[in-house]
Each structure stands twice: as C-alpha cells, then as structure tokens.
Amino acid sequence: GNSVTQTEGPVTLSEEAFLTINCTYTATGYPSLFWYVQYPGEGLQLLLKATKADDKGSNKGFEATYRKETTSFHLEKGSVQVSDSAVYFCALSDQAGGYNKLIFGAGTRLAVHP
C-alpha cells in the first residue's frame, strides 16, 4: 500500500542553520503531497503542498519540490528560527478508496536553539 517515510527525529539545529527534512513516498498513481506543521499542544497546520510532478510548494521560507523520479518531497529552509521548533509531517493524498485519505509519515521533531 501507499506509505510515507521521513527523517527520524529529533533534528536539532542552531538558529540560522540550513534545514532539510527528507520525505520519500510509495504510491500508485499521482498523489498530491503535503507538509503539515504541529506546534506544541496544537493541531496540524498546512505548511505547503504540491499537486503534480516538478511543482514547488513554498511558504514562510520553507520549500519542497515534488520529485516523481525519486519519489521524494524534501522540506528545506535556508535559515531556521527558534519559532520554527515544531513537529513536521509529510503526507500524501490517496484517492484509491474513493475518498481523500491522507497518509502521514511518523513526523520529525525540530528543535532550534538560539
């Protein structure tokens, strides 16, 4: 079945460091891909998305490119801030069952130190 694998956390960085969180997927067809962010004690917020191959999603300095040839959707940010500390989830949408089913990775906890 479809699945998502992402960098195992925690990832610890200093402020202004470069961030990469890897995400690879297994899917039939052409799923849409998403990055969600979860701040402590809160629900998930959509960070960015891409709906077809070679699309680049971007938001708040974060970017991810839908790479069909490598089945990847890695999240990057050039300079992280303390306020970016959160758990990041990669997800794909699977419509095989006739509905919008999101399949999530396990999440990657990011801690940014001043």
Partner 1 sequence: DGGITQSPKYLFRKEGQNVTLSCEQNLNHDAMYWYRQDPGQGLRLIYYSQIVNDFQKGDIAEGYSVSREKKESFPLTVTSAQKNPTAFYLCASSMTVLAKNIQYFGAGTRLSVL
The residues that touch partner 1, with contacts defined as CB under 8 A, are: 4, 31-32, 34, 36, 41-46, 49, 51, 89, 91, 93-95, 98-107
Q: How far is the CB of 100 from partner 1 (least distance, A)?
A: 5
Angle at 43 between CA 6 and CA 80, to 5 degrees: 55
Considering the complex, what minimum distance in angstroms separates the CB of residue 80 from partner 1?
22
Rg (alpha carbons) of the chain, rounded to whole number:
14
Q: In this complex, which beta carbon is closest to partner 1, that of residue 36 or of residue 62? A: 36
Cα dihedral 7, 10, 14, 15 sign: positive
